[in-house]
Amino acid sequence: MSEIQNQSNQAVSSESGPLSAFDLFKRQDREVAKKAIAARLLRNGVKQEDPVDLSYVPKEGETLEPLTPESGNEALEVYRHSTAHLLAAAVLDLYPGTKLGIGPALLDDPKGGFYYDFQRPEGERFTPEDLPKIEKKMRDLIKRNLEYKRLEMPKAEAEKKFAELGEPLKCELIEEKAGATVSCYTIEGTPFVDFCLGPHIPSTSKIKAIKLLSIAGAHWKGDETRPQMQRIYGTSFFSQEELDDWIKQKEEAEKRDHRRIGPELDLFSFSDAIGPGLVLWHPNGALIRKVIEQFLNDELYRRGYSFVNTPHVTQSELFRISGHLENYQEGLYPPMTDKENEQIEYRMKPMNCPFHIQIYKSKQRSYRDLPQRYAEYGMVYRYERSGVTHGLMRARGFTQDDAHLFCTPEQLVGEVIACLDLVDFVMKAFGFEYKAELSVRHATDHSKYLGSDEVWTMAEAALTDGLNQYGLPYVRMEDEAAFYGPKIDFKVVDAIKRTWQLSTIQVDFNLPQRFGIEFISSDNKPHQPIMVHRAILGSFERFFGILIEHYAGAFPVWLAPVQAIVLPISDKYNEQAQKVEAELKAAGHRVASDQRSEKIGAKIRDAQLKKIPFMLIIGEREAEAGTVAVRDRVKGDQGAIPVAEFAARLSELNKTRALTT
């Protein structure tokens, strides 16, 4: 028996045999072992992609670290995956004959924390009334403290077992994905058996807070030609308090749902005649978008960017060179054949970067020409199954606020700092707090990353130096870099404390090499420039959806499609209302008037529903004095002031991009 220090949770044997992860944790700290739900596995110091069960017995060279509720998403994913299995066990117990699909964990998904897909016998379907019954059964199974057990068997035996269980979809998955040995899980005392790699919690009693949420339709593997299944969504947390907070947040999120507010405020819509995931911007939404574009335009010009425009389609060869055909085939739309030459195919563009490289390559570049900063609001198209599109948040066609920077290695730190300052400026303008994450290579395992150690060290140092010099706190995320280079991601926190990833700064060694781009340096020799992908909003569509929900549709004055509406108290004052409207429009403000023959209370109510920042009421006194009685949508009546004074007030709110009035 080899002697290895137990303190590092490495392979250890006792008189009763090899010790499991749980045994090792228990020897080191009983309280930690009690809280652990799974273990992180390191092999020769290299963190492995997937955690392992607490029953796992480490081998020579392997080290284990406990995953507890404090371990973040890595632990939560195991916990919720196990809860999905619990849901399936409850369903099989209550509804014999139900066939199993898949049941993954979900993180940061508005629909819930997990789901499981089921196929009921013909003529039988789940209804919302079934959810409390299923949830009660899940709670009963939790109380029984049933063990999650991992089984390994030869592939042929597994196929036979699932065929005997009447689980054709599991047989299909085993045929497609399993190796010679198949990993399965059961929950003790239930009819549930699943083809699954795990890991899972040790027993059902570890689950503390659950809630089933909804039922939706789903097709097996997202294939609309396959029979429709039913997907039950739920969520789970490590404590009831966390679940209660999430439910409150979800209720508030539903009130703010951009898919409801958008049509109500005439911002955007979708059309079955056009297709899922393809956005129609209505007048109000398009106006807000133009305001945002102009805000960005002014700032980018000031910061030395050049705007470019590129086509919506390209020959497929461009994406063969870039590697997208090889690595992102599923996200591309099918090719179109050139009518004049069937050997040539065209594709809708999924991203702008290869196009910007062609602009860079259009002439020889000197080190004196660098940096080059190309910005574009480029429409891109990515194929998403219709069942996974989600309003503006996940569309098939969207507009990236893309920029690509080409610079020398010596310029990289300065460009990073400039990008950090731009992100900070824009996020503050919209009222977002944000956090930064620096994603780098694994410290020792570089197998999945392109580029030499020298360029990686230089790029990671440049991003780190940029963050430190700018004074921005960040979290270092090891082994989270893109395969082509390190990156900084920015996550904003909205009004109801949800986190959204928006801005990104990514260093790329891959595309410059693939396309052979160069600049002539001071030594009169060609060198490869550094390429930086930079996006601030991500996409206009998704950012607009986030803005709608952040503001609950009540945009600040500088963004509001109608900043003020003039409300005459009767038809007698319509002419004066028209004059006020014209005067404010002449001053450059977005103003409307409501001259319907309605009572003033109804007009105010309608303006409030439209979330217009200011209502300007005109009656006899206001008409005679040349004033307007100002009503703020939040603060209520503000008193009467001269029209010119109100115009100046609007100008100041616009100039400062004030978030409140």
- Which residues are part of the catalytic machinery? 353, 382, 400, 402, 404, 487, 533
Q: Which residues lie closer than 8 Å to 574 by C-beta, 6 or more apart?
A: 568, 593, 595
Between CA 291 and CA 298 the distance in angstroms is 11
Between CA 659 and CA 430 the distance in angstroms is 7
Between CA 661 and CA 630 the distance in angstroms is 12
Contact 606, 592 (CB under 8 A): no
- Provide the phi-psi class of 451: left if phi over 0, else alpha when psi is between -120 and 50, else beta: left
For residue 191, the tally of other CB atoms under 10 A from its CB is: 14
Between CA 419 and CA 535 the distance in angstroms is 9
Please count the residues of the chain. Answer: 661
Tokens encoding 148 = 């999650």
| C-alpha neighbours within 13 Å on the C-beta side of residue 657 | 13
| C-alpha neighbours within 13 Å on the C-beta side of residue 155 | 10
Judge if the upstream peptide bond of residue 371 is cis by omega within 30 degrees of 0: yes
Tokens encoding 561 = 């499609």
Please say whether the dihedral angle defined by the alpha carbons of residues 594, 293, 278 and 106, taken in this order, is positive or negative: negative
Helix axes 73-94, 130-143, angle to 10 degrees: 110
Between CA 355 and CA 413 the distance in angstroms is 25
For 39-60, b where at least 16 C-beta lie within 10 A, e where not — what string?
bbbbeeeebeeebbbbbbbbee
Between CA 121 and CA 128 the distance in angstroms is 18
Q: Which three-class secondary structure state does DSSP give residue 627?
A: strand
